[in-house]
Amino acid sequence: MSLQAHNTSLHPNPCGGKKSCMGGMIGVLFYTSLALLALGCGGVRGALPAFGADQFDTSTPKGLKTQGSYFNWLLLSTTVGAAVGVIGFVWVGTNHGWWWCFLLATAGCVFGFSVFLLGNPFYRIQVPVPKDSPYLSIGRVIALAIRNRKVKLPENSEELYENDTNKSFTGKKLTRTKQFSWLDKAAIVPNGSKPSEICTVTQVEEVKILIRMLPIILNMFSLVGLLEFFYKEAPIGMRSLATSFAWISMSLGYFLSSVLVDSVNSVTRRVSPSKKGWITGLLLDDNNLNLFYWFLAVLSLINFAIYLLLASMYQYKKEDDGLLTTEMASTATSIATVSASGNVELNEDVKG
């Protein structure tokens, strides 16, 4: 995008009354750069909250407290950076050319990435627990639950399958919860089945955790709390995926806002006596913004009521430390510090 802004031969031709000024290879280059930009931002925003929170030792009161402050500082820095971009970079682009604006943004990204790499020897890196993708694990649980949908659940939950040597995304075994019991059928052991064809209770509970967290994205106004909630409740191996839910809620809000405005205009244009939409005029005096904001207030009230209902039904993650085997404990809680020479040194408490 920076190169396209600098090279005039890559600029689109003047519209000249045309509906679309972008086309050909210039359009392909522009939209490809937008897609790459969205992909890069999405990856960083999804992984950064979980990676930063992993740097704190939550086994101590100080680490637990500072981890909560981390999410506040993360959102503050993101907001300040956005403000600098909107005010400072846009001013540079307007007064000195967009090439300089994009050049400053590119230089800022390179500088930030360089600083991040310099801290590599000091990061606390948590050894990954599972080898499978979380998407494959989720799909496997749902597929097995559907396949066993006609099988009756055993009355005793201990009859459901649990393997001590099976690694999960939590690093700890989870006790069975009664919510979403249809998923428990993925842990039923039918006659003649192999252990590799069955999910464990812990794997089923991990999927339940993600399903329980999904409705919470309706609350789009408490981003800090959402990031902390998704990080603490998600299985260890799925924290980057779970923290992305907070950003998904904002993205859906941006897209649905356009749909909402078009829908409101379409409906009000038909039912209003003036045959005009509430927010179709170019001037504020020609619109009925008061009615539109009353509609938003009612919509927010309904959203809040649904949020309270779902939040009251939510069941927090339960960890069964008594079932944690020695192998899983050593694997899941191994926090490795990567030295500057590239060697991996385990913490003393893990060695013991």
Helices (H), 54-97: 61-84, 90-96
Side-chain half-sphere CA neighbours of 334 within 13 A: 16
> What six digits make up the tokens of 157?
């939950």
Q: Which two tokens stand for residue 38?
A: 């969205």
Q: What is the rounded CA–CA span in Å between residue 14 and residue 52?
A: 46
Tell me the pTM: 0.46
Closest CA to 187 of 158, 218, 227: 158
CA-wise closest residue to 187 among 238, 155, 148, 132: 148
Q: What is the largest CA-CA distance in the chain?
A: 78
What pLDDT score was predicted for residue 302? 92
pLDDT tens sequence across 259-295:
888 888 888 888 877 777 787 766 666 777 888 889 9
Residue 148: DSSP 8-state: T
The pair of structure tokens assigned to 39 is: 């992909």
Residue range 304-338, pLDDT digits in tens: 899 888 888 887 777 665 544 443 344 344 434 33
Alpha helical stretches, state H, the chain = 2-6, 24-53, 61-84, 90-96, 98-118, 134-147, 201-213, 223-233, 239-271, 289-313, 326-332, 348-351
pLDDT, residue 339, reads 39
For strands 124-126 and 335-338, give the pairing. Answer: antiparallel
User: Can you tell me whether residue 342 is helix, strand or coil?
Assistant: coil
Angle between helices 24-53 and 239-271 (to 10 degrees): 130
Mean pLDDT computed over every residue of the chain: 75
- Render each residue's pLDDT in the chain as its tens digit; 352 residues: 888 888 888 877 776 666 666 667 888 888 888 888 888 887 887 788 888 888 888 778 887 778 778 877 887 888 888 888 878 888 888 888 888 888 998 898 899 889 989 988 888 876 655 556 777 888 888 888 898 888 888 877 777 877 765 555 555 678 888 888 888 888 887 765 666 678 888 888 888 888 887 765 555 456 666 777 777 777 776 666 666 676 677 777 777 887 888 888 888 888 877 777 787 766 666 777 888 889 989 988 998 899 888 888 887 777 665 544 443 344 344 434 333 344 444 344 434 4
Q: Which pairs count as long-range contacts for 328-335, CB under 8 Å and 24+ apart, including other chains?
A: 328/129, 328/164, 328/167, 328/168, 328/171, 328/172, 328/173, 331/127, 331/129, 331/167, 331/171, 332/129, 332/167, 332/170, 332/171, 332/172, 332/236, 333/171, 334/126, 334/127, 335/124, 335/125, 335/126, 335/127
Q: Which residues of 180-196 are buried (b: 16+ CB within 10 A; e: fewer)?
A: eeebbbbbbbeeeeeee
Are residues 160 and 151 in contact, defined by beta-carbon separation less than 8 angstroms?
Answer: no
